[in-house]
Each structure stands twice: as structure tokens, then as C-alpha cells.
């Protein structure tokens, strides 16, 4: 399974020149606005025609200027999820979702529509019109609609950019699940570092129509060539926890981790039963690092951990810390790393206010 | 008077029916496609709006008159001329009302969000299916408003009609031509009832037209 691209396209004085191979899983395309991300997706989807070059998906040529091939969008089997969901306003949720499903020949249907409707929790809104749906609902409908057409590749153009964090978390999780369950490759365009860190397996960074870096998503944290257009302040850790205790009227306790050396997080009271699970997000800049156990401190969470990796960028340093089997990324100034003489393998304490841990409501 | 109204309706319905498919196609071509010579095509189809209707009528006379090739073909096939028949009235009404209809349809089609059409394509719908399942339903109100505007213009056509179809009572005399004749003969009382019918029809049509436009713009607000 692979998508091979080697294309050029010029608009006025902007030129897109991209060459690369996209393989298994979810590939992120990261870059500032007007860097050529959407043009790249449009060329792969068949909405725009490159000036020259070649695009092939799973060895089938979708576009070749040399051989004069340009397969039309509807025959490419490439799904496309737009930032503003692009739902058909004159159709109900059900009719939207079934649009591509019914156009897909039975022999090519690889997706169980009912399973997708269930997975993205659309059952209750199936017979509603799409005009009154919330942003999160609209995007879930758009995703199921695309998946229902059994695409061989799914392109996602900033699908979460207009959603609030709670809705983003749910969709990110489901996207990952669907990619694995259906063995579906995705190309995910975004300029959100949190989404890249939480979702993608590999990343391509483009700027001014050219590829400037590619590889592991962690390169966003340490590659100086991309540092200028990463909004480091928005980096969120998204982790799953299980409610293990309600302390009093104000706080609950979550257990996070791999089930062995679980870490516990004290967070503002949750309206959930003991044993229920929930995703939470923690901004990397909200975590304070200490080499010694802090005493007489108001923060509710003091977590013991080990530094597993330090990535230095221009003004920031990102420290990956293992706590009870999960990894948290903390953002520090380069000055702090030097001042504390932090090195990989060091034991440290992470200090976190209860109110810095934000529950992500599931839908 | 009943026959008069019936003939006027017949002329306008036929003229509008001929225009609808052509106007939708041309509207799509101009409103939706990147084609060469768009400016020239757009100017050409709007020409009857700018020309005095009498001049349009004169051009039509050259095109479908007795000595024209179309006139000869008609004579050969049907044994009759086109000019000075209700068919000539319908052709004149069709040509004169076409630009109004097509301009409204162009605007309606330009208002359809292209990302919706792209979404349909990526879901496996070809261009024809996308047009009928997505573009058409979304510009339906604007389309209907354009058709209505064309219809009411066809009902009121006078200048081009009198040149190619004359003003023959019972054969080519439509409401506006009858009003003209009656006023000329000083029969203002008889003209008045026709004037009231025309005015009522125009007001009703414009109300429905504006209602459709408002409804259409509400629909596209999301």
C-alpha cells in the first residue's frame, strides 16, 4: 500500500514541487497556511490537475503527464474530508452518509456502514437534517460519509481546525481506531502540533510548496528548519484515564498508564462512575519540572518520572518523561534545561495543577 | 378575452419551455465551468436585453422570414411560413426572455459551494450525477426564480413580436398587442381589463420570484 507523488503545479508566482512516497498508516502533512498543503491534497483527490509529474496509488497510475493519464476524481477511490465538512445541506444525515455507500459497487464495499455509524455515534441523529448539527456532529457525519464509500486512501484537510478541543479528542481517537481496524491509509493535513503528535505515524513538512522535512512526528519538536512555523504553546498531551476514586466534592482521581506502574492524577470533580474511562488533555507548557521532591506546594499532582528524550528547538526544549508507562511531553525553555542540568535518564518530578488537566468529553 | 389570455399563455409556455434546458446548460457553462470566450458568450446572450426589441425582431425576421433558409425548410416540411404565426410569437418571446432567465440561473449556480460538488465527486458521483443530485437541488430556488422571470417577460413581449408575428387577432395577438390595438382605437375601457390582468400577473410573479430568492439564500446559509 503506497501513494507515490512526484508533481509540479504553478499558480501565478506560487509553485508546488513535491516528491515523495506515503506508506502505511496515517501520514501527517504539516506546514503553515498557504504552504501548498491543500493544493497537494486536491491534486491527489483529482480536483486539480498538476502541470506535470505523476501520482500513483497502490501501483495504479492516477495521474501521469507523460502518459496523458488523469483519472477523474470519482474513479480514484480517494476519500476527502473537508475542514468545513461539506455536508449536502438538502439531504438528511442518513442520505449524506449513504451517498457514497450506494454508489460503491457491492464487490468493492469493504466498510460495514452500520459499524461506522455506531463507532462515530451517529445512531441518534441519522434522521435529522444537517443544518442544525453541532460542529463535532457535522465532522463525524462527514467522516462516516467518506468511509462509507470504502476509499483506498482517505485525505483529511484540517478536519478538526474549526472544532473545540473536546470534540477533537474523540475524533482523533476514532480516526486512529478506524485506520487500524480497516487497514486504511490516511493523509492528514494540519498545522496543529497536538494533532500531529497524537495521531500520525510519520510526517511530511512542507513550506512554500516544497518539502522541508520528513520522518517521525517528533521532528516537529527538534528540527530547527520547522521551528519557525510550529505553535509550540498549543502542544497538548492527550491521554486516557480511568476514574478510580472521588476524593470529595471537588476532586476525582484518575488512573493513567499501561496497567503496571500506573500513575494517578487528581483532577477537578468528574460526573462519572468509578471505573469509567475518559480522555484528558494536558498542555505541555503547564507541566513544571523539578529535580527534587517539592514540599509545601499547592499543586495537587506530583508525579515521579524519568526523562526519556530531550528535543531542543530554537527557544523551547521538549522533554519526554515516562510516568507509570505513559509518556508526557513537557515544554521548557532551553535555559531551564541547562539550569537544571537535565539529561536523558534523569529521575525527575512533574508538578501539575488539578485545573491544568482538561477532561475531553467523549462526544 | 379568454382566447386572448389562452394564446398569450400558450406563447409564453412554449417560449419558456424551449428556453429552460438551454438556459440551464448555458447557465452551468458560464456559472460553473472555466471556458474560453466566456465574456463574449455572456455578452452575446445578453444582447436582446440591450437591443431595442424591434431590432431583435428585425434580426429574427431575417433569420426565419419567408426568404430565409429556415423559412424555406418550414415551407418544405410543413407547407407554411413561420412568420406571422403564433410560432413566430413564441420564438420572439423566447429570444427576448432568454437573457433574463439565463442571468438568474448563472447567479444561482455560482452560489452553489464548489466544495459540495467536489465532495460528491470524491464519493464516487460522476459529473452528471453530481449536477442532478447536488448542484440542481441547491440552486433550485434561483433556477425557478429565473424561469419565472423569463416567463413573465415572455408574457409581456411586444416589440420583437409585432415585427415577426404581426398583430393578427385570433392568430398572433397576445395581451400586450391587444392592449396596444384597443388604446389606438380609443377603446380604453376594453383595454383596462387587459391592463389589470397584466398588472396582476406581473405583481404575483414578482412576489413569488422574490420569495424564491429569499428562500434560496436562506437555504444556502449554513
What is Dmax (Cα atoms) for chain B?
66
| Predicted local distance difference test score (pLDDT) of residue A75 | 95
Greater confidence (A151 vs B3) lies with A151
Cell representation of residue B178: 391587444
- Give residue-wise pLDDT tens across range B163-195: 999 999 989 999 999 999 999 999 998 899 999
Domain count, chain A: 2
B82 touches chain A (CB under 8 A): no
Q: Which residue in chain B has the smallest CA separation from A148?
A: B123
Q: Are residues A50 and A135 in the same domain?
A: yes
Whether A211 and A248 share a structural domain: no
Q: Is residue B48 part of a domain?
A: yes
Residues B119, A72: C-beta atoms closer than 8 Å: no
Residues 6+ apart with CB under 8 A from B180: B158, B162, B167
The answer on A337 and A192 residing in a single domain is no
Range of the domain at B104: 2-217
Instruction: Report CB contact under 8 Å: B126, A86.
Output: no
Distance CA A146, CA B119 (A): 9
Percent of chain B with pLDDT over 90: 65
Q: How many residues does chain B have?
A: 222
- Tell me, yes or no, if B61 comes closer than 8 A to chain A by beta carbon: no
Closest residue in chain A to residue B139, using alpha carbons only: A90
**Out of A78, A89, A131, closest to residue B122 by CB:** A78
Shared-domain flag, residues A159 and A14: yes
Counted across chains A and B, CB pairs separated by less than 8 A come out at 71
Smallest CA–CA distance, residue A187 to chain B, in Å, is 15
Q: Which residues of A touch B120 (CB under 8 A)?
A: 88, 99
The SS3 assignment for A25 reads coil
DSSP single-letter state for residue A344: T
Q: Compute the nearest-CA separation of A91 from chain B (Å).
A: 9
Total domains in chain B come to 1
Whether B66 is in a domain gets the answer yes
* CA closest to A88 among chain B residues: B116
Same structural domain, A81 and A226: yes
pLDDT per residue over A48-86, tens digit each? 999 999 999 998 999 999 999 999 999 999 999 999 999
Q: What is the CATH number of the domain that holds B85?
A: 1.10.3720.10
Range of the domain at A92: 3-230
Predicted pLDDT of residue B83 = 86
Of A79, A84, A88, the CB nearest to B122: A79
* Residue A351 near residue A302, CB atoms below 8 Å: yes
The domain boundary, picked from A197, A230, A263, lies at: A230
- Say whether residue B128 is in contact with chain A using an 8 A CB cutoff: no
CA atoms within 13 A on the CB side of A223: 18
- Does residue A223 sit in the same domain as residue A338? no
Q: Which of A207, A230, A253 represents a domain boundary (last residue)?
A: A230
- Could you report the per-residue pLDDT of B56-78, keeping only the tens digit for each? 999 999 999 888 888 888 888 88
A40's grid cell: 497537494
A131 neighbourhood in chain B, CB within 8 Å: 222
Q: Do the Cβ atoms of A90 and B219 come within 8 Å? A: yes
Chain A contact for B29 (CB, 8 A cutoff): no
Residues 6+ apart with CB under 8 A from B1: B193, B194
Question: Is pLDDT above 50 for B222?
Answer: no
- Rounded Cα distance, B123 and B137, in Å: 18
Contact B121 A47 (CB under 8 A): yes
Residue contact B121–A90, C-beta within 8 A: no
Q: What pLDDT, in 10s, does the model give residues B98-152? A: 999 999 999 999 989 999 999 999 999 999 999 999 999 999 888 988 999 999 9
d(CA A110, CA B145): 43
Tell me if chain B has a CB within 8 Å of the CB of A149. yes
The pLDDT score that the predictor gives to residue B218 is: 62
ipTM value for the complex: 0.80
pTM of the shown model: 0.80
**For residue A337, what is the domain's CATH number?**
2.40.50.100
Are A196 and A248 found together in one domain?
A: no
| B123/A131 CB distance under 8 A | no
Residue that terminates a domain, selected from A230, A262, A295: A230
Distance of alpha carbon A272 from alpha carbon A269, whole angstroms: 9
Instruction: With a cut of 50, say whether residue B221 has pLDDT above it.
Output: no
* Residue A103's CATH number: 3.40.50.300
Q: How confident is the model at residue B52 (pLDDT cuts 50, 70, 90)?
A: very high
Instruction: Tell me if chain B has a CB within 8 Å of the CB of A47.
Output: yes
A87/A56 same-domain check: yes
B92 falls within a domain: yes
Structure confidence at residue A260 (pLDDT): 64
Does B222 reside within a domain?
no
The closest alpha carbon to A81, from A6, A15, A139, A21, belongs to: A139
Three cell numbers, residue A309: 528524550
Q: Do A157 and A263 fall within a single domain? A: no
* Minimum CA–CA partner of B138 in chain A: A90
Query: Are the Cβ atoms of B137 and A90 closer than 8 angstroms?
Result: yes
Interface touch A88/B118, C-beta < 8 Å? no
Asked if residue B177 lies in contact with residue B160, where contact means CB atoms within 8 angstroms, the answer is: no
pLDDT digits (tens), chain A, 363 positions:
789 999 999 988 899 999 989 888 999 999 888 889 999 999 999 999 999 999 999 989 999 999 999 999 999 999 999 999 999 999 999 999 999 999 999 999 999 999 999 999 999 999 999 998 999 999 999 999 999 999 999 999 999 987 877 778 788 889 999 999 999 999 999 988 888 888 899 999 999 999 998 998 878 877 777 777 777 777 888 888 889 999 988 999 999 876 666 788 999 998 888 988 888 889 988 999 999 999 889 999 999 999 988 887 767 788 889 988 788 889 888 788 888 888 899 999 999 999 999 887 654
User: Do A219 and A353 fall within a single domain?
Assistant: no
Same domain for A47 and A191, yes or no, is: yes
Amino acid at each position: 500500500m503506497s501513494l507515490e507523488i512526484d508533481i509540479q503545479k504553478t499558480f501565478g508566482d506560487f509553485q508546488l514541487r513535491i516528491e515523495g512516497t506515503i506508506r502505511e498508516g496515517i501520514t501527517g502533512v504539516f506546514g503553515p497556511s498557504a504552504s501548498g498543503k491543500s493544493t497537494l491534497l486536491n491534486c491527489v483527490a483529482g480536483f486539480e490537475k498538476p502541470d506535470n509529474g505523476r501520482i500513483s496509488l497502490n501501483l495504479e497510475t492516477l495521474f501521469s503527464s507523460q502518459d496523458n493519464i488523469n483519472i477523474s476524481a470519482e474513479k480514484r477511490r480517494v476519500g476527502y474530508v473537508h475542514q468545513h465538512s461539506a455536508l449536502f445541506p438538502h439531504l438528511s444525515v442518513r442520505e449524506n452518509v449513504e451517498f457514497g455507500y450506494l454508489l460503491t459497487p457491492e464487490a468493492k464495499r469493504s466498510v460495514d456502514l452500520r459499524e461506522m455509524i455506531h463507532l462515530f455515534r451517529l445512531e441518534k441523529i441519522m434522521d435529522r437534517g444537517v443544518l442544525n448539527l453541532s460542529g463535532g456532529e457535522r465532522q463525524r457525519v462527514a467522516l462516516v460519509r467518506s468511509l462509507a464509500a470504502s476509499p483506498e486512501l482517505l485525505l483529511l484537510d484540517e478536519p478538526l481546525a474549526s472544532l473545540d478541543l473536546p470534540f477533537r479528542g474523540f475524533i482523533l481517537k476514532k480516526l486512529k481506531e478506524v485506520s487500524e481496524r480497516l487497514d486504511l491509509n490516511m493523509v492528514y493535513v494540519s498545522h496543529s502540533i497536538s494533532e500531529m503528535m497524537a495521531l500520525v505515524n510519520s510526517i511530511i513538512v512542507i513550506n512554500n510548496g516544497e518539502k522541508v522535512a520528513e520522518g517521525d512526528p517528533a521532528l516537529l519538536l527538534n528540527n530547527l528548519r520547522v521551528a519557525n512555523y510550529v505553535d509550540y504553546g498549543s502542544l497538548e498531551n492527550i491521554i486516557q484515564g480511568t476514574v478510580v476514586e472521588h476524593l470529595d466534592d471537588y476532586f476525582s482521581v484518575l488512573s493513567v498508564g499501561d496497567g503496571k506502574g500506573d500513575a494517578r492524577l487528581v483532577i477537578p470533580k468528574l460526573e462519572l462512575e468509578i471505573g469509567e474511562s475518559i480522555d484528558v488533555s494536558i498542555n505541555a507548557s503547564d507541566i513544571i519540572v523539578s529535580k527534587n521532591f517539592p514540599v509545601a506546594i499547592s499543586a495537587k499532582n506530583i508525579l515521579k518520572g524519568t526523562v526519556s528524550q530531550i528535543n531542543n528547538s530554537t527557544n523551547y526544549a521538549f522533554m519526554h518523561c515516562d510516568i507509570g508507562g505513559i509518556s508526557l511531553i513537557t515544554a521548557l525553555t532551553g535555559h531551564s534545561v541547562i539550569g537544571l542540568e537535565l539529561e536523558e535518564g534523569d529521575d525527575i518530578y512533574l508538578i501539575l495543577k488539578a485545573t491544568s488537566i482538561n477532561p475531553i468529553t467523549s462526544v | 378575452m379568454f382566447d386572448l389570455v389562452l394564446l398569450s399563455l400558450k406563447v409564453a409556455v412554449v417560449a419558456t419551455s424551449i428556453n429552460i434546458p438551454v438556459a440551464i446548460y448555458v447557465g452551468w457553462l458560464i456559472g460553473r465551468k472555466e471556458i474560453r470566450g466566456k465574456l463574449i458568450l455572456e455578452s452575446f446572450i445578453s444582447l436582446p436585453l440591450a437591443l431595442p426589441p424591434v431590432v431583435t425582431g428585425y434580426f429574427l425576421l431575417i433569420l426565419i422570414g419567408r426568404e430565409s433558409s429556415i423559412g424555406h425548410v418550414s415551407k418544405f416540411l410543413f407547407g407554411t411560413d413561420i412568420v406571422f404565426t403564433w410560432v413566430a410569437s413564441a420564438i420572439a418571446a423566447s429570444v427576448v426572455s432568454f437573457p433574463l432567465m439565463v442571468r438568474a440561473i448563472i447567479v444561482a449556480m455560482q452560489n452553489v459551494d464548489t466544495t459540495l460538488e467536489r465532495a460528491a465527486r470524491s464519493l464516487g458521483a460522476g459529473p452528471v450525477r453530481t449536477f442532478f443530485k447536488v448542484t440542481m437541488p441547491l440552486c433550485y430556488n434561483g433556477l425557478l426564480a429565473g424561469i419565472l422571470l423569463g416567463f413573465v417577460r415572455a408574457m409581456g413581449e411586444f416589440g420583437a413580436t409585432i415585427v415577426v408575428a404581426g398583430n393578427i387577432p385570433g392568430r398572433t395577438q397576445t395581451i400586450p398587442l391587444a392592449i396596444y390595438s384597443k388604446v389606438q382605437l380609443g377603446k380604453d375601457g376594453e383595454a383596462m381589463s387587459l391592463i389589470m390582468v397584466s398588472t396582476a400577473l406581473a405583481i404575483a410573479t414578482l412576489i413569488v420570484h422574490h420569495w424564491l430568492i429569499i428562500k434560496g439564500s436562506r437555504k444556502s446559509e449554513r
